[in-house]
């Protein structure tokens, strides 16, 4: 079945498009984007009043399968993804067992093909068992379909291992995703080290913990000529290091999360464990530096670091709770408020950060509505009201720092390969749909 999306405001930064058009998807790919397309034997989706963009791509998702299916599965995580407007996610390697060998990559891809709602691009481990000792079979992982490698959840503390991984990945044509923290500087830390941690008497995670490793990896990227991608960058010093390295031609890219853009460490005074993640929410000066990086183009992508945990695991004292929050379903609404309504950037730049940028960084298909590209489209209703409640999540988990918030603007339909995988217009009552 082919799909015709009519009368949408098409915002596609890859072609500098922002105008009202129709989109025809045939056999899973974009066949035409034009005014008033006439087509027979197609399903029609009337997008009057909606914005159509290239499908969102999340570079940083923890799907938890295999091994921690009580938190999330490939099926539930990808359903949450399409509910958040994502047509593709890249799945981090720190599953149980970790994705450090071909068999795990193949299992993830097979399960995604069977029960997934969106595309899943596996990320392989840098080291066997994520132990930071022996390098995983990177060429094997690449051949099995991994689009990048990372020990995310942990840093690669061994600089020699990092150098060798960069050299291999350079040959394989994929980036190494770096989770930057110095475990020694971090020891026992549960939140950002600063005024609030002192006030609350909690052990802090200093900005220097991230910045020392970013500095090292920029140096190693320069040495090897390889591509390093900094995951969930959260500090002023780190964004500065990326900006300067790029100006010198070093192949370093970076992503930031919606929660680091929207929230500061002062929020932790509520002691909600849904404000505990790694890297932690930072002080205001860091948050402002991230906004500058968003505005000046230093930041390549917004990535969720969607990290589902079971309610019982988070329902403990702050110090004892696991790090991590979910983010797939709230990312757009949070960033639209923070960045576009907050006048940091215009809508096309936001779409670039959600779609085109991520596709560029990992050299993924998608991120564009050019003829012949993937028929992946996200439809946004910028006027719709979105109340985030514990019950509003499609994800198995509800450990979101944004529960209780009300937003304006949200994804309402998600098309993957020409197939409508999520449609709020049909799942909510017609009354609810008339939001204004």
Which residues form the interface with Zn ion (CB under 5 A)?
152, 179, 231
CB 56 within 8 A of CB 85: yes
Would you say 25 or 254 has its CB closer to Zn ion?
A: 254
Nearest distance from residue 103's CB to Zn ion, in Å?
Answer: 24
Helix axes 207-224, 236-247, angle to 10 degrees: 20
CB 323 within 8 A of CB 277: yes
Nearest distance from residue 118's CB to Zn ion, in Å?
Answer: 21
**Distance (Å, rounded) from C-alpha 262 to C-alpha 239?**
17
Catalytic residue status for 140? no
β-pair type (2-12, 51-54): parallel
Cα distance between the two ends of the chain: 33
CB 244 within 8 A of CB 236: no
Would you say 179 or 337 has its CB closer to Zn ion?
A: 179
Smallest CA-to-CA distance from 283 within 264, 257, 267, 259 is with 264
Would you say 158 or 392 has its CB closer to Zn ion?
A: 158
Nearest distance from residue 411's CB to Zn ion, in Å?
Answer: 24
Smallest CA-to-CA distance from 123 within 206, 163, 179 is with 179
Q: Which of 182, 305, 376, 381 is catalytic?
A: 305
**Distance (Å, rounded) from C-alpha 339 to C-alpha 357?**
16
Would you say 278 or 330 has its CB closer to Zn ion?
A: 278
CB 304 within 8 A of CB 60: yes
Which residue in the block uniquely carries the two structure tokens 């110095």? 182
Other Cβ atoms closer than 10 A to 36: 9
Smallest CA-to-CA distance from 381 within 436, 421, 343 is with 436
DSSP strands (E only) in 92-154? 119-124, 148-149
Structure token digits, residue 133: 């000792």
DSSP lists the bridge partners of residue 380 as 51, 411
Nearest distance from residue 21's CB to Zn ion, in Å?
Answer: 38
Nearest distance from residue 232's CB to Zn ion, in Å?
Answer: 5
Nearest distance from residue 153's CB to Zn ion, in Å?
Answer: 6
Nearest distance from residue 415's CB to Zn ion, in Å?
Answer: 30
Helix axes 74-83, 102-115, angle to 10 degrees: 60
Would you say 231 or 242 has its CB closer to Zn ion?
A: 231
Would you say 152 or 265 has its CB closer to Zn ion?
A: 152
Q: Which residue is nearest to Zn ion (CB)?
A: 179
Nearest distance from residue 352's CB to Zn ion, in Å?
Answer: 23
DSSP lists the bridge partners of residue 22 as 34
**Distance (Å, rounded) from C-alpha 52 to C-alpha 378?**
6
Smallest CA-to-CA distance from 274 within 191, 335, 209, 205 is with 191
Would you say 61 or 368 has its CB closer to Zn ion?
A: 61
DSSP lists the bridge partners of residue 42 as 2
Would you say 94 or 330 has its CB closer to Zn ion?
A: 94
CA count, 13 A, side-chain hemisphere, 240: 13
Name the burial class of residue 248, with classes exposed (0-12), middle (13-18) and buried (19+) by CB atoms within 10 angstroms of its CB. Answer: exposed
Which residue in the block uniquely carries the two structure tokens 């993924």? 364
Nearest distance from residue 230's CB to Zn ion, in Å?
Answer: 10
Would you say 231 or 412 has its CB closer to Zn ion?
A: 231
Active site amino acids: 305
């Amino acid at each position: 079945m082919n799909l015709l999306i009519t009368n949408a405001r098409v915002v596609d930064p890859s072609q500098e498009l922002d105008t009202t058009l129709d989109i025809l998807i045939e056999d899973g790919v974009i066949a035409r984007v034009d005014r008033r397309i006439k087509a027979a034997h197609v399903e029609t989706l009337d997008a009057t009043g909606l914005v159509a963009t290239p499908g969102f791509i999340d570079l940083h998702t923890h799907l938890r399968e295999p091994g921690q299916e009580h938190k999330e599965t490939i099926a539930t995580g990808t359903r949450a993804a399409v509910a958040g407007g994502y047509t593709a996610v890249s799945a981090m390697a720190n599953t149980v067992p970790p994705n450090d060998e071909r068999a795990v990559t193949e299992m993830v891809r097979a399960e995604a093909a069977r029960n997934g709602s969106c595309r899943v691009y596996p990320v392989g481990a840098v080291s066997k068992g994520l132990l930071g000792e022996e390098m995983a079979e990177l060429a094997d992982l690449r051949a099995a379909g991994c689009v990048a490698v990372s020990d995310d959840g942990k840093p690669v503390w061994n600089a020699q291992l990092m150098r060798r991984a960069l050299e291999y990945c350079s040959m394989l044509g994929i980036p190494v995703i770096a989770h930057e923290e110095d475990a020694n500087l971090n020891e026992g830390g549960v939140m950002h080290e600063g005024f609030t941690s002192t006030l609350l008497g909690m052990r802090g995670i200093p900005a220097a913990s991230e910045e020392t490793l970013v500095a090292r990896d920029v140096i190693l990227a320069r040495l090897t000529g390889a591509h390093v991608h900094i995951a969930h960058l959260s500090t002023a010093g780190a964004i500065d290091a990326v900006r300067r390295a790029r100006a010198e031609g070093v192949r370093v890219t970076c992503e930031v999360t919606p929660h680091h853009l929207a929230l500061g460490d002062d929020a932790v005074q509520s002691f909600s464990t849904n404000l505990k993640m790694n890297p932690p929410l930072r002080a205001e000066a860091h948050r402002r530096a991230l906004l500058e990086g968003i505005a000046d183009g230093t930041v390549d992508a917004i990535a969720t670091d969607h990290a589902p945990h079971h309610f019982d695991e988070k329902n403990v004292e702050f110090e004892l709770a696991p790090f991590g929050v979910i983010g797939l379903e709230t990312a757009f609404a949070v960033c639209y408020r923070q960045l576009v309504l907050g006048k940091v950037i215009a809508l096309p730049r936001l779409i670039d950060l959600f779609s085109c940028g991520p596709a560029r960084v990992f050299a993924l298909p998608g991120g564009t509505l050019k003829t012949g590209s993937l028929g992946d489209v996200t439809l946004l209703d910028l006027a719709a009201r979105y109340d985030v409640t514990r019950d509003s999540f499609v994800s198995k988990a509800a450990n979101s720092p944004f529960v209780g918030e009300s937003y304006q603007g949200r994804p309402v339909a998600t098309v993957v390969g020409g197939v409508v995988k999520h449609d709020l217009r049909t799942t909510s009552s017609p009354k609810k749909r008339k939001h204004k």
